[in-house]
Structure 1
Amino acid sequence: MKTIKTLSVLALTAVLFTACGEKKKEKAEEVMEETAEAVTEVVEEQTTPNIVGVAVGNENFSTLVTAVTTAGLAETLSGDGPFTVFAPTNDAFAKLPEGTVASLLEPASKDALTGILTYHVVAGKYEAAAVIEAINANNGTFTVSTVQGGTIDLSLNDGKVMLTDAKGGTSTVIMADVAASNGVIHAIDTVVMPE
C-alpha cells in the first residue's frame, strides 16, 4: 500500500514537472516532499501497534496479555505514553511458585496483580542504548521509578541489562527494543516484585 501511494505521488510529480516552468517545478518538488513525508508518517502510525497490540501479537507474552486484561490495564497501556515496559515472558511467569499466576488472576487479587504489573512499567521511552548509557554514567547502577511507585535498579552483567527489584530479586533483559507506537518493550526472563 505504501508503494502504491509513493508511486501515485511520483506520477503526480511527473505530470507537474511536464506542465510547469522552473518556479512551478520547485514548488511541485516541495509539495511532493511534504506529501511523501505525510504519507510516510500515516503509514508508520498505522503499521506500528501500541504496547498492548505488540504483546497481543507475540505468543511469548500471552500470560502477560491475560494478566493486563484481567487487571484492566489494557486501556492505560494503549494510551499515548510513552512507556517502557519490562515485559515478563510466559517462561518468566512459569518460574513463579505453582498456583501463583492462577491466584493473581482471581478477581479478589486484582489490586495485587495491578501492583505487580505496573511495577514493570516506567513512564518515558528508554531504549537499550539510553539505558546502558545511564547505567554507565551512574557508576554501574541506574534506578528507575515505576508507575506502581516503587523503584528498580538497572545494571549490566556480561553486557546484558539486569533488573534488581525491591526484594533483591533479579531479572535479565533477553530481548530489547521491541518498538511500539507509544513506547518500547524489553522482554525479561523473570517477574520482578515490588515491596
Structure 2
Amino acid sequence: LTFFAPINKALEWLKDKKIPKEVIRRVFRYHVVNTALPYKSLIATRVLDTTLNSSGLNDAPQKVRVGGWPHHTYINWSKIKIYRLAAGNGYAYGIDHILIPPPDIMTELFIIPTFFSTLTSALQKVDLAETLETSKAITVFIPSNRAWAKLGFRNLAYLFSPRGKDALTTILKYHISPELAYSTDLIGDKALPDHLPNKHHTELDTLAGLKLQIEASSYGHKYAKITVNGVRVLFKDVLAKNGVGHTIARVLLPKTTDLYLPDDNYQTIEDESELMAEIDINEENEQLFQLTRKSKNHESKFERSTLYETVDIIRE
C-alpha cells in the first residue's frame, strides 16, 4: 500500500468537529493507493488509483494527481512534507492538507471563476451545465477565459447572442467526450528510454458527433506535450467525481463553425511563437496552481468549508 498521511497540523481544525463516519471512511480511502510506491516510482506517475470508488466514474477508482513543482511534489494540491516513510506493507508520505474527494466537473469550474467563468456562462446559456454535473466518466477539454478572449469581441458577441446559440452549443459539445481519458491514456504506455520520444495518437468521440485528434509526445516521465486538434493542453488531469478535465490554450472549433478568425491557422497555431506559447503555459499554470492552492492563511478555511459543503458529494 501507499498511504498519504495528513500531518498533525493538517488535522488540527478537525478537533471537536462532528463529521459523519461515512464521510470519514470515504475521505480515508481517498488517501490510500493499493500499490506500494517508493518515491522514485511515485514521481514517475501522473495519476494514481485510490481505494475510493466513485459512482460518477461507473464505480471505477477515484484518482489522485501527482504533480511536480520546483523542489516539491504535490498530491492533488497537498504538498508532500515527509518523504520515504517505509512501512512493513508499503510506503507512507506526510502531506500538509487532507485530500478531499473532488466534486463534479461543473462544480470544479465554478470554484475558479477568474479562469473559467466564460465557459460556465456558456454552458449555462445553452443548457449543458447539467450534462457536466450528471454525466458519468466523461472528459472535458476546458478553454480558460484567456482562450475564449482569443476569439475576439465580435465572435463572442455572436456566440452569446440568440442567433449564435446553435453554433455555441456545437462548439461546447465539441469539447465534451463520453470517453474517460486521463493524461496517461492520451500519452500511452510504451516502455522507452527517457531519451527516446514516445509518440501516441488518440481519437476521442464528442457529444457533437465529431472526433478529436489528439497527439502526445513524452520523454519518460519528465516531459509530456499533448495537443488536441493542434491546440496545446496547458494543464492535465483536473480530477472530478464524474470524469476529468484538461485545460487548453484555445477554443476548439469544428470545421463547420462560421466565425471570422484573423488567422486561418487558428486551430493549429498555439501562439505567435513557440516561446510565447511556453510563456503563456507557465504563467497560466502558475496562476491556476497558486489560486487553487490558496495562501497559507486561507487554506484551512478553504479546506474546512469544502469538506462540509461536499458532504453529500462524498457520501454519493
TM-score (norm 2): 0.46
Structure 2 counterpart of 1:191, one-letter code: V
Runs of 4+ in 1 over 4 A off after TM superposition: 1-6, 38-42, 44-47
Measured after TM superposition, the shift of residue 81 of structure 1 is: 1.4
- Tell me the C-alpha RMSD between the 2 structures: 3.2
The one-letter amino acid of 2:238's match is V
Confirm or deny: 8 A CA contact 2:187 2:199 kept in the other structure: no
Q: Which amino acid aligns with 2:226?
A: V
Secondary structure, in 3 states, of the residue corresponding to 2:153?
coil
From 117, 132, 143, give the equivalent of 1:88: 143
Q: Tell me if 1:108 matches 2:173.
A: no
* Whole-angstrom CA distance in 1 between matches of 2:133 and 2:183: 21
Residue in structure 2 matching 1:54, options 108, 113, 118: 108
Question: What is the aligned partner in structure 1 of residue 226 from structure 2?
Answer: 161
Amino acid at match of 1:131: L
How far is the alpha carbon of 1:35 from its aligned partner?
Answer: 9.3
Separation (CA, whole Å) in 1 of partners of 2:143 and 2:240? 16
Aligned position for 2:187: 132
On the 8 A contact 2:227/2:233 being kept in 1, the answer is yes
Q: Which residue of 1 aligns with 2:231?
A: 171
Distance in 2, Cα, partners of 1:63 & 1:113: 12
* One-letter amino acid of the structure 2 residue matched with residue 111 of structure 1: D
Deviation at 1:139, TM superposition (A): 6.5
Cα distance in structure 1, aligned partners of 2:144 and 2:190 = 24
Deviations, residues 74-131 of structure 1 (Å, cap 9, x unaligned): 1111113121000001111111133111210112221111100010011132111111
Cα 1:54/1:110, change in 2 over 3 Å? same
Report how far residue 36 of structure 1 moved.
6.0
1:120–1:105 distance in 2 versus 1, CA, 3 Å: same
Indicate the residue corresponding to 2:245 in structure 1. Answer: 185
Deviation readout 1:153-187 (Å, 9 max, x if unpaired): 100256310011xxxxx211100111111111100
Between the aligned partners of 1:194 and 1:135, the Cα distance in structure 2 is 31
* Residue identity matched to 2:234: I
Q: How does 1:4-19 map to 2 (within 5 A)?
A: 4=17
**Matches of 2:190 and 2:168, distance apart in 1:** 29
| Structure 1 gap ranges (5+) | 10-33, 165-169
Aligned residue for 2:174?
119
CA gap of 1:70–1:135, structure 2 versus 1, over 3 A, is farther
1:149 deviates by 0.5
Identify the residue that residue 69 of structure 1 maps to in structure 2. 124
Percent of aligned pairs sharing the same letter:
32
* Separation in 1, partners of 2:130, 2:216: 33
CA contact (8 A) 2:199 2:215 kept: no
Q: Is the 8 A contact 2:138 2:242 kept in 1?
A: yes
Equivalent residue pairs, number: 163
**Native 8 Å contact 2:137 2:180 kept in 1:** yes
Q: In structure 2, what is the Cα distance between the partners aligned to 1:66 and 1:187?
A: 17
Q: Which secondary structure state, in structure 2, belongs to the residue aligned with residue 67 of structure 1?
A: helix
- Structure of greater Rg: 1
CA gap 1:124/1:99 in 2 versus in 1, 3 angstroms: same
